[in-house]
Amino acid sequence: MFKNLSVVSVAIWLSLIGTLFCFSGCSKVVENSPTTLIESLTSTEVINKDNELQSVKPNIILIMTDDQGYGDIGAHQNPVVKTPNIDELAKRSIRLTNFHADPTCSPTRAALMTGKHSMRAGVWHTVMGRSNLAAEHKTMADVLSEAGYNTAIFGKWHLGENYPFRPQDHGFDKSVIHGGGGVGQSGDYWGNTQFDDTYFRNGEPENFKGYATENWFDESIRYIREQAASSTPFFAYISTNAPHTPWRAPETEVQAYRDLGLPEPMARFYAMISNIDKGVGEIRSELNNLGIDDNTILIFMTDNGTSSLRPESSMYGDRDPEEFLQKFKLNPRYANWVINAGMRGYKNEVYEGGHRVPFFIHYPKGNFGKPRDIASLTAHFDVLPTLIDLLDIDPKKSELINMDGVSLLPLLENDSNATARSVFDDRKIVITNQRVNIPRIGRPMAVLSRDWRFISERESGIEELYNITDDPGQINNVISKHLDVAQQHREYLNRWWKSISLNIGEQALPIVGSSFENPVRLNSNDWADAESTSQIAWDPGFKTPLSNETNTGWIAQPDQYEPLPWNVQAENAGDYRIRLFMYDEPAHYAIGKQYAYLNINGKEYRAEMGTEASGAEFNIHLKKGPIKLLGWFTDSADAGSKTNRLPSFYAYLEYLN
């Protein structure tokens, strides 16, 4: 009877039959039909061709916030920030209290997506083209797509702006994202400020009204509703740009924290988190309304340690941090506030506070037992292997190799079992903060084990050892008392580096001249060959009408940057139209220079331009293969002159053949 009918059609038929045959004894069933029945069928069952019911794979929602540390949650000893929905989710979840990420965002995202250490995934920086996730790496979206899932991302990607690094190149069926590492950065659409911005839907610019975080959650809820009405399981990756700088949120939410007496920057930071919390609550409410909460794996985590509250941070405005905190905590409501959850270190650092992050997993049908804390050593690259295990996906089919993560399923199902814990009791994890063009073992490193944290920064002559069990704040360096433990961790680091560094130096290059992306837009976030991050013009610094804000990025001082090259790969030889801009094309700002220069693999080209021009155009035949190009603007007819020249922060390459 029900053959070839949709789930909704079957539900309506069953509802009508129930109405015909039920009398007063069936009143509750009739009252709940057909909505309850539709929800039940879409959340747990579908009709197959043989009229038999079969189980639906669980849906997956992964929420990851940006720069929100372990202590930036109400449930984690912070009575100031208001996160009732995240706190409630934590209360009902398995909580991994010793879960680690990288100290910065792109590396964490690469490890999360691939199940590999960020270094093995080839992503160890957030700029210089070193944030590009190469096509050879299969992502979580690739694996789930092959397993029959519809996949979508909302918010921040930060693993490459161009083909073949975009979300749609890495397994996502749908993407609604901003560009770069944060809203308003050079990789983003020109002029974005987190309010009424233009974002990219499946690669195409589209204007959105309202606040960025609310847009990500609104779009994800719309997607969840659409997918819940189908028989296809879904993976929604909600990756907020908040609370990454610039610290901005709706005025009413900021005012609520100003009223507590917080400094302006801190009020904005916490308002961003409260807005995220509202979105988390909306997601949970929607899952319940659709009847799919029990069959949805909901994960909440953050990408690195907090960007706030370090003593030298601008978070405190013009106030003395120690004096402010001392006075603020005299209020009994805030007396128990433990800054940074008592951890040492912040974003960009290899001390605990730089990389230990919250991780909650909620899956009522997962046979995980009661909500509880699990203190075993775990990390971001464990998430993909866990999902593969949980969904019973054959790893061979997904062609995953060299995964550094392990499945957490035995731990989630029974962490009290000695066998389940043994893998985690004996493991070591390396955390590093490279942020250079070519990684080095002398950069900041931490080797984590069950009881110990070995800190190594050989270029600065630093070696430290902390018993993290006895000294969670990493106050007492005990390396001189435990030389044998330090040696074990040092040897492990050497072996790990020897293995991980085999392919270091190869840069994944954007491809121009292909049918997948044409034209290709390059931005100064991906300038290459820089000696330090300070040479990269990653932040234009757009200001909003919010109080006490000024233009602080490169648009306020473009002459302070030297033009640096982009490295790309031409897929086809042929004629290309190359356009250079100082301000991006949508800005239509005049540069005020007489000449534009383009350097392609060492050969220079010059174009005359009027002072009112906003860009310059070159038509050039390019050979197939690697290309190094850079551009600049000047009043000098001498290409070699560096006097008063301004960089091309943007370049568009269009294949014409």
> How do residues 282-317 score in pLDDT, each as one tens digit?
999 999 999 999 999 999 999 999 998 888 888 999
The whole-chain average pLDDT of the chain stands at 90
**By the 8 A CB rule, do 409 and 366 touch?**
no
pLDDT, residue 638, reads 84
pLDDT bin (cut points 50, 70, 90) of residue 42 is very low
Report all structural domains of the chain as residue ranges with CATH numbers, in order of start: 7-55 (no CATH), 59-425 (3.40.720.10), 511-655 (2.60.120)
Residue 318: Cβ within 10 Å count = 7
User: What residues pair up with 605 in beta bridges, in sequence order?
Assistant: 598
Question: By the 8 A CB rule, do 405 and 383 touch?
Answer: yes
Q: Tell me the one-letter amino acid at 616.
A: A
DSSP state for residue 386 in the 8-state scheme: H
- In angstroms, the CA 111 to CA 121 distance is 7
Task: Specify the pairing of strand 574-581 against strand 615-622.
Answer: antiparallel
Region 1-6: mean pLDDT is 36
The structure tokens listed for 260 are 């507590």
Does the pLDDT value for residue 53 go beyond 70? Answer: no
9's enclosing H/E stretch is: helix 7-21
More confident residue, 562 or 398: 562
Higher-pLDDT residue of 584, 639: 584
Residue-wise pLDDT for 469-502, tens only, equals: 999 999 999 999 999 999 999 999 999 999 999 8
Contact (Cβ atoms closer than 8 angstroms) between residue 215 and residue 239 = no
- Asked if the model's pLDDT at residue 15 lies above 60, the reply is no
Sign of the torsion angle spanned by Cα atoms 146, 149, 150, 151: negative
Residue type, 242: A
Distance CA 236, CA 218 (A): 12
Q: Is 465 helix (H, G, I), strand (E, B) or coil?
A: strand
Least confident span in 37-51, 114-128, 503-517: 37-51
Cis? peptide before 246, omega within 30° of 0? yes
Assign 3-class secondary structure to 83-100: CHHHHHHHHCCEEECCEE
What is the tens place of the pLDDT at every residue in 173-216?
999 999 999 999 999 999 999 999 999 999 999 999 999 999 99
Candidate from 71-75, 491-495, 543-547 with smallest mean pLDDT = 543-547
Instruction: Give which of 493, 399, 368, 459 is closest to 115, Cα–Cα.
Output: 399
Over residues 347-368, mean pLDDT: 97
Q: What is the pLDDT of residue 570?
A: 98
Sign, CA torsion 36/38/40/42: negative
Residues 6+ apart with CB under 8 A from 95: 358, 359, 360, 371, 372, 373, 374
The DSSP result for 132-201, as a single string, is ---TTS--HHHHHHHTT-EEEEEE---S-SSTTSSGGGTT-SEEEE-SSSSTTSTTSPTT--SBS-EEEE
pLDDT tens digits, one per residue of 155-173: 999 999 999 999 999 999 9
User: Residue 459 is which amino acid?
Assistant: E
- The whole-angstrom separation of Cα 375 and Cα 253 is 34
pLDDT at 397: 64
DSSP 209-242: -SBHHHHHHHHHHHHHHHHHTSSS-EEEEEE--T
Quote the pTM value.
Answer: 0.91
Phi, psi (rounded to 5 degrees) for 549: -110, 140
pLDDT at 36: 29
**Helices H / strands E in the chain, number of each:** 15, 28
Whole-angstrom distance, CA of residue 353 vs CA of residue 349:
8
pLDDT at 545: 67
What is residue 622's predicted lDDT score, i.e. its pLDDT?
97
| Strand, coil or helix: 384 | helix
**Residue 3 has what pLDDT?**
34
